Amino acid sequence: MDEIKLVKKARKGDDAAFEELIYLHQNQLYRTAYIYVQNKEDALDVVQETVYKAYLSLDQLKNPQYFKTWLIRILIHNANELLRTGKKLIKIKDESKYETSDEPTNKTNQTEQNIDLMAAIQQLDNSYQTVIILYYYHDLSVHQIACHMNVPEGTVKTYLHRARKSLKKLLEGSEQGWINNSLMMR
Amino acid sequence: MDKQQFNDEINKIEVPQPDLHMAIKKGISKAQKEKPAIRKIKRFSIPLIASSLVIVFFGSGFVSPQMSRVFADVPIIGKMYSSFNDSVGQNLAASKLVTELNDRAVSNGVGVTVNGVYYDSGRISVTFKVDHLSLQSNDFLYDVKIADGSDKWNRGAQYGGRVTPDGCFGQILIDYPDKSLPEHVTLPLTFTAFNDVKGKWKFDIPIRQLDNKKIHIVQSVQSDDKELKMNFESLTIGKGSATLDYKAIYSLVGKDDMARIDKVTDDKGHKIDVLSSGTEFGRKRVGNSIESEERSIIGKIPENAKYMKIYPHIQYSESFVSHPLEKNSFEMKSKRGDATLKVDQIQQSKRNLIVKYTLDHVDTKHLTFDFQNFGEIMKLTDSAEIGKDRPTIGHFVKGSTIKVLDSDKLQFQASFKLDGEFGIYNFSLEHYSLEAPFSMLLPEKTLPPLTIYLK
């Protein structure tokens, strides 16, 4: 069943349809939360809170075709809320399981030579993080991001430009050459 | 930056599926406990709440208390529209074309004041302020019945509620649900809850459509494959927006396709906002096709524009394609596109089913989404329950964990969790099928642009 039909069903109170909608986007939700909070427990909390709030405010979704964007917006708000309220301290440390090394790494002994994209995104200002994630991972247009963040399109472009510049600087000399090679292309 | 490579990096974050399912379940059940009454499909309870309705009207010589005048200065209204990013409302407010009301209702200590209305090109906007509401966040929730509460009104409605330094602002935008637009509408609105406060705030709002000009169009566009034809019928130009009415004719196989308008530009190439595309008034089968009366609403067309260009597109769709698992390797194919999924190997253990597969004939140039996501949405379903909207619990597994084996060759490994709360009671390869969402791999196709002369 297509997503718009599911949203319409969910808005009428069909809980199974709502659940199906969430499962459609569950991995992107989790991964986006993880980028912000950098650990499994908090990322799961952020997803849980997002599902809870989305269920309660589904009536306010303006247009069914923007369900995913609306959901991500709630998620980012929750992730920021969690970080803001100081429930957790961000460790500039990549704890995800894709590290090849078992040795713990942290900011002080991690040289810029092997810093990776995740850690680099972590070091960006909050607004820059959000535009980068929405633009590259959620594939939103500048216009959609502007509506989402409630800022003018020009501001989004500025954020994107600065965020790319910061990432480039952070990743200079890293093995992730594809970022350096194509970062300033668009 | 290359989006695909960026996605590959992000997708290295491992997803703890069982924990994630649990978190989602908890989120839903926590919300269900809080909002059972509001989300019920049928509402039997009629709250017996004494509500006092106070209507204060600013007349200036008008006889009817229902009438209200357009205010010369509407700063608060302008602020409200800007807080909801409503460019049409902002333009109309600047041109003093918004009708300001001051209809107030109070129930259970919460006051609601409907303060602004416009009705332009098939779209109605009602703005209101809420006072004495205890707040928990930057947004507030409300439940409202529009007109008779029937689905046709809710379908095209958008609801906003925002807490600002100037107060709690709400806006309801309603795409008029019928194809013919009456000049006058009396819109009954009954609010029944604001956050946790239940009550009854009832309004009958008289609304008059702003002047408009209707241009009849006799133009059609058709997709190359003849799967979709759009017959454009009329353009209604209002004060701050315009309505485009057309008939979309879909093929039988494309009964769930969506004709949409992507972009509209004026004669100078400047974009005109597409406010809503694809409001449908009902699809019906006529002979060997599906006909659908549809409408799109666009923003303000510049006064001096000689013509405008419309860029339609079609989003194809198809239902899940299924194939029995009885063989160790097989091929599945999209019914409407070229994409294929070749299952290279199936390994079963007690707890998991591992399916190695390759995607082929996929338009990697134009599809920007994450191909892993395709696999994550695949399902294992009891072959006897294929085609059911909701298969029986314990007879399907929705979603898998994907490992990328070779991103250039589009080779993946899907792992379906057979045990646990979301598993299958009695799995066997003979009785189960793999279901794949080829809809995701169908490209969006653009139709030739269309020029509509305005002079």
The DSSP-derived string for B272-331 is E-EEEEEEEEEEEEETTEEEEEEEEEE-PPPTT-SEEEEEEEEE---PPEEEES-SSSEE
Mean confidence (pLDDT) of chain A: 71
Residue B451 DSSP SS3: strand
What pLDDT does residue B369 have?
55
Is A67 in the B-facing interface, judged by CB distances under 8 Å? no
**How far is A69 from A48, CA to CA, in rounded Å?**
17
**How far is B242 from B211, CA to CA, in rounded Å?**
11
**Cβ B154–A139 below 8 Å, yes or no?**
no
Is A149 in the B-facing interface, judged by CB distances under 8 Å? no
Q: Considering only residues B255 and A178, tell me which one the structure prediction assigns the higher pLDDT.
A: B255
What pLDDT does residue A24 have?
87
Percent of residues in chain A assigned helix, strand, coil, to nearest 5: 65, 0, 35
E strand or H helix at B260: strand B258-266
Phi, psi angle pair for B111, to nearest 5°? -105, 140
Is A119 in the B-facing interface, judged by CB distances under 8 Å? no
Is A3 in the B-facing interface, judged by CB distances under 8 Å? no
**How far is B241 from B120, CA to CA, in rounded Å?**
7
Q: Which of B321, B316, B347 is nearest to B332 (CA)?
A: B321
Q: Considering only residues A69 and A122, tell me which one the structure prediction assigns the higher pLDDT.
A: A69
Retrieve residue B32's tokens: 């269900």
What pLDDT does residue A166 have?
78
What pLDDT does residue B39 have?
37
Nearest residue, CB atoms, A139 vs list B139, B158, B368 = B368
Residue A31 DSSP SS3: helix
What pLDDT does residue B330 have?
96
What pLDDT does residue B430 have?
94
Q: Considering only residues B432 and A12, tell me which one the structure prediction assigns the higher pLDDT.
A: B432
Retrieve residue B48's tokens: 């017996």
**How far is A149 from A147, CA to CA, in rounded Å?**
6
Residues of chain B with pLDDT under 50: 36-74
Instruction: Tell me how far the alpha carbon of residue B276 is from its chain's centroid.
Output: 10
Q: Nearest C-alpha of chain B: how many angstroms from A83?
A: 16
As a whole-number percent, the residues of chain B with pLDDT over 90 amount to 46
Is A116 in the B-facing interface, judged by CB distances under 8 Å? yes
Strand partners, B382: B432
Phi-psi region of B49 (alpha: psi -120 to 50; beta: other; left: phi over 0): beta
Rg (CA), chain B: 26
Mutate to test the interface with A, among B13, B138, B194, B422 (most CBs of A within 10 A): B13
Q: Rounded to whole angstroms, what are the CA distances from A118 to A36, A97, A98, B452? A: 10, 12, 11, 49
**How far is B50 from B107, CA to CA, in rounded Å?**
7
What pLDDT does residue B34 have?
67
Q: If you ran DSSP here, which 8-state letter would residue B132 be given?
A: S
Cβ contacts below 8 Å, chain A against chain B, sum to 146
Phi, psi angle pair for A6, to nearest 5°? -65, -40
The residue written with tokens 């409503």 in the block is: B86
User: Residue B373: its chain A contacts at CB < 8 A?
Assistant: 27-28
Chain A residue whose CA is closest to B41: A13
Contact B238, B215 (CB under 8 A): no
Rg (CA), chain A: 18
Chain A residue whose CA is closest to B194: A57
Retrieve residue A175's tokens: 């093995």
Taking only the tens place, the pLDDT of each residue in A124-168 is: 777 788 888 888 888 787 777 877 777 777 778 778 877 887 787
Contact A74, A54 (CB under 8 A): yes
**Cβ B19–A28 below 8 Å, yes or no?**
no
With 0.85 as the threshold, say if the pTM is over it.
no
What pLDDT does residue A172 have?
63
Contact partners, residue B277, CB within 8 Å, separation at least 6? B260, B261, B262, B296
Is A125 in the B-facing interface, judged by CB distances under 8 Å? no
**Cβ B28–A63 below 8 Å, yes or no?**
no
User: Residue B399: its chain A contacts at CB < 8 A?
Assistant: 23, 26
- What amino acid is encoded at A142 in this protein? V
* Helices vs. strands in chain B: H and E counts, helices first: 6, 28
Average pLDDT over residues A16-24: 88
Mutate to test the interface with B, among A5, A53, A55, A160 (most CBs of B within 10 A): A55
User: Residue A19: its chain B contacts at CB < 8 A?
Assistant: 24, 28
Nearest residue, CB atoms, A12 vs list B16, B28, B41 = B41
**How far is B407 from B455, CA to CA, in rounded Å?**
53
Is A81 in the B-facing interface, judged by CB distances under 8 Å? no
User: Residue A33: its chain B contacts at CB < 8 A?
Assistant: none
**Cβ B15–A118 below 8 Å, yes or no?**
no
Contact B396, B424 (CB under 8 A): yes
**Cβ A48–B7 below 8 Å, yes or no?**
no
**Cβ B13–A118 below 8 Å, yes or no?**
yes
Taking only the tens place, the pLDDT of each residue in A71-130 is: 988 898 888 877 766 544 333 222 232 232 333 222 223 333 334 777 778 777 777 888
Taking only the tens place, the pLDDT of each residue in B170-227 is: 999 898 988 888 988 899 999 998 887 889 999 999 999 999 999 999 999 999 888 8
Q: If you ran DSSP here, which 8-state letter would residue B65 be given?
A: T
Q: Nearest C-alpha of chain A: how many angstroms from B319?
A: 7
Contact B10, B370 (CB under 8 A): no
**How far is B318 from A78, CA to CA, in rounded Å?**
35
Terminal alpha carbon distance of chain B = 44
**Cβ B1–A164 below 8 Å, yes or no?**
yes
Q: Considering only residues B245 and A62, tell me which one the structure prediction assigns the higher pLDDT.
A: B245
Q: Nearest C-alpha of chain A: how many angstroms from B59?
A: 33
Q: If you ran DSSP here, which 8-state letter would residue B49 be given?
A: -
Contact partners, residue B242, CB within 8 Å, separation at least 6? B121, B235, B236, B297, B298, B299, B300, B301
**Cβ A49–B27 below 8 Å, yes or no?**
yes
Chain B residue whose CA is closest to A34: B13
**How far is B451 from B455, CA to CA, in rounded Å?**
12
Q: Which of B324, B9, B259, B277 is nearest to B122 (CA)?
A: B277
- What amino acid is encoded at B361 in this protein? H
Q: Nearest C-alpha of chain B: how many angstroms from A169?
A: 14
Is A178 in the B-facing interface, judged by CB distances under 8 Å? yes
The residue written with tokens 């009708």 in the block is: B99
E strand or H helix at B229: strand B228-237
Residue A33 DSSP SS3: helix
Chain A residue whose CA is closest to B275: A63
DSSP B137-192: SSB--EEEEETT--HHHHHTEEEEEEEETTEEEEEEEEE-SSSS--SEEEEEEEEE
